[in-house]
Amino acid sequence: MDIDLAREMIRVAFATSRELQDLMALLKRQLDAEEYKEHSLAIAAAIAEIGDALTDKALAAYPELEKEIEAKLAKYGRYI
């Protein structure tokens, strides 16, 4: 993979995780505690899997992207 593909993998991982976190907030407002707990555990596992499958692999190939990610998070509040 080239570095641009690695960047895209990280962007997709971050965007997907962000949307799943937004969904968790909605579920927390609308579900009872037990039902929310079930969904939140499953969603948290999915977010972790996305990180392993995309972000970790991209950073293993291009560790220098870590500084780029940190800089964009500091500047924009997200990786864009």
Report residue 31: phi and psi, to 5°. Answer: -110, 160
Q: Give the global pTM.
A: 0.85
The structure tokens listed for 67 are 């500084």
The structure tokens listed for 69 are 């990610």
What confidence score (pLDDT) does residue 80 get? Answer: 74
pLDDT tens string 35-72: 999 999 999 999 999 999 999 999 999 999 999 999 99
- Distances in whole angstroms, Cα of residue 3 to Cα of each of 26, 51, 60, 65, 71: 35, 17, 11, 9, 17
Question: Is 67:74 a contact under the CB 8 Å cutoff?
Answer: no
Q: Total domain count for the chain? A: 1
SS3 53: helix
Domain that includes residue 35, residue range: 3-76
